Amino acid sequence: MILDVAKLINLGQRFILEICALVVYGYWGFKIGNSGFIKGLLCIIIPVGIAVIWGGFGSPKASIQLSEPLHLVLEVIIFLVPVGLLFSLNEIKLAMVYGIIVIINRILIYIWGQ
């Protein structure tokens, strides 16, 4: 029973990590823009594009299921690129915490076959 609860928490954490990744992509887009219009456009377009890609190819209910090596590559891009983006914005501690949580979450998903 405790393991079932831990697995459920891990899946919930995965969803929160997806949201966090989208927030980081949006924040990064806002920070790199050079005018108000471009900042606003990038902070919307980048996360929406990432969400469409993840929803179509990476999520558990994706319409097109990728084979395991390709799915892992997509996961690395979607979930670990934000670590680099946070580093580029000098958010070192946040990048490290987010990256560690993503890695632990993925390891548990693998171990538990989620």
C-beta neighbour count of 15 within 10 angstroms: 10
| pLDDT recorded at residue 60 | 84
The rounded Cα 52 to chain-centroid distance in angstroms is 12
In order along its 114 residues, the chain shows pLDDT tens digits of: 999 999 999 999 999 999 999 999 999 999 999 999 999 999 999 999 999 999 999 988 899 999 989 999 999 999 999 999 999 999 999 999 999 999 999 999 999 998
**Exposed, middle or buried, 34 (CB in 10 Å: 0-12/13-18/19+)?**
exposed
pTM greater than 0.85 (yes/no)? yes
Q: Give CA–CA dist 86/96, Å, rounded.
A: 9
49: Cα separation from own chain's centroid: 13
The stretches of 33-89 forming alpha helices (DSSP H) are: 36-53, 68-88
